Amino acid sequence: MIPEDLRYTDKHEWIRVGNQSVARVGITAYAADALGDVVYVSLPQVGEEVALDDACAEVESTKSVSDVYAPLSGVITAINEQLSDTPETINADPYGDGWLFELELSDATELEGLLDADAYAGVTEA
């Protein structure tokens, strides 16, 4: 089930935009399933500036290490610190407690380039 209230990238990140200036970012259930059991997460630093499509985090599983790309440009305002102790939360609740970081958007027009749930479903079926 792909949540309808989120936006997505073709690299399997999800984005929840609150007040149009701050976005919460995570990886999709599809990506978490493909990775397998997540054992370590490397997150960006609060205050770090990222540009659209920059590799800014890593998720390591028993199978591989995958980069997480910034789905939008902005400044990191928060990271999910509980993932350092319980990275498996990404597998258990990718759209909730398994979020990775929050970012203050520097260019809200980039939101137009994100996929809705139906378009993302098409990516996962390709």
Euclidean distance between CA atoms 20 and 41, whole angstroms: 27
Indicate whether this model's pTM tops 0.75. Answer: yes
Distances (CA, A) of 13 to 3, 60, 77, 95: 12, 15, 18, 10
Nearest 5°: the CA angle 20, 24, 29 is 130
Instruction: Give tens-digit pLDDT for 6-54.
Output: 999 999 999 999 776 899 999 999 999 999 999 999 999 999 999 999 9
